[in-house]
Amino acid sequence: MVSFTSSRVAEVVQEDRQPLGADQVRIHTLFSGISAGTELTAYRGSNPYLNKRWDEDRRLFVDGSTSFEYPVNGWGYEEVGEVVEIGSDVTRVKVGDRIWGTWGHRSETIQTEARAADRILSPTVDPRIGIFSQIGAIALNVILDADIHVGETVVVFGLGVPGQIVAQLARLNGAHVIGVDGIAARRDLALKLGIHEVLDPADGEVAERVRAKTGGRGADVCLEVTGNYHAMHEAIRTVAYSSRVCVAGFMQGEGKGLRLGEEFHHNRVAVIASQISGVAPALQHRWNEYRLASTAMRLAEEGKLNLADLISHELPVEEAGFAFTMLDTKPQEALQVVLTFEEN
């Protein structure tokens, strides 16, 4: 299991093996992906759960004690594994089935039969796509929050892993998609995966260039997937009058770079937080987190979402410390980093 033993220190530690219940299955982890956004906030110590306490009843962060403290064990939410043992009452899952889900960077997990049976990956596909169930759900939730219509212009700020998936889904939804990212390799990959246009923010005037492409109107919707306040501000500048910006990036610290008295105020821009704890109120009777994740997996299995090409590195779990250091200090050198686990 990977443990953040202190700020910017990731170590592999031993975890006791648990007994198997009659209605449970034991899953050996094959691959576990690292989230270069949310996970790094825990690795770096900037995550608000490490600095404040989340009051679930009032849904407020409050000062005083913290929700988490180091060591933070088993963080991670991008896993796929193979069933290696089943309980005596299990009939819907068999040894050898591949299961996608979320159980952290650990060599194995025990799941109930009911949960595992709902998350069996097709044996005909690359098992690595199973690590993308949660990040795929997050990306699809952004698309639902954005309320994209056929023929609209959508600008995606940030072409990391979630941004790449968001861009593909926006295209599937019928949008003309423009991606914005400062890393050339990510822009090139986005074009390869079907995005229509890309822009380098280093060239400046993103909002001006998008307006020039849309007859002065601006984007119908902007999707912010960077976690960067300056990018969020540019997204606000880029979107059309009385339109919306969906923010999925996990912003850290104070909102430096936002000038809310400018375009936000004068253009009546709606800023929507897209976060996986829920879906848009109008959709709650039909959509939930499981449907989001299973839909993303179905689209990948059908070849409509290209996820395997997002993987840039595969490293044995023993090199987790190196993997997190690389993502922390040289993010431009990696996209999706995957940890692999040898079978016991």
The reported pLDDT for the residue numbered 145 is: 97
Neighbours of 216 (CB within 10 A): 8
The reported pLDDT for the residue numbered 291 is: 98
The reported pLDDT for the residue numbered 307 is: 98
User: Residue 339: beta bridge partners?
Assistant: 32, 315
Judge residue 17's burial from the number of C-beta atoms within 10 Å of its C-beta, 0-12 exposed, 13-18 middle, 19 or more buried.
exposed
Mean pLDDT for each consecutive 10-residue tract of the chain (344 residues)?
Answer: 96 95 98 95 95 96 94 94 98 98 97 98 97 98 97 98 98 98 98 98 96 98 97 98 97 93 97 95 96 98 98 97 96 96 77
Contacts of 242-245 with C-beta under 8 Å, sequence gap 24+, read 242/267, 242/268, 242/269, 242/270, 243/218, 243/219, 243/267, 243/269, 243/270, 244/146, 244/147, 244/269, 244/270, 244/271, 244/272, 245/221, 245/269, 245/270, 245/271, 245/272
The residue type of 58 is R
pTM: 0.96
Give phi and psi for 182, each to the nearest 5. -85, -5
Tell me the Ramachandran region of residue 74: left when phi exceeds 0, alpha when psi lies from -120 to 50, beta otherwise.
left
> DSSP letters along 190-220, please?
HHHTT-SEEE-GGG--HHHHHHHHTTT--EE
Tell me the Ramachandran region of residue 336: left when phi exceeds 0, alpha when psi lies from -120 to 50, beta otherwise.
beta
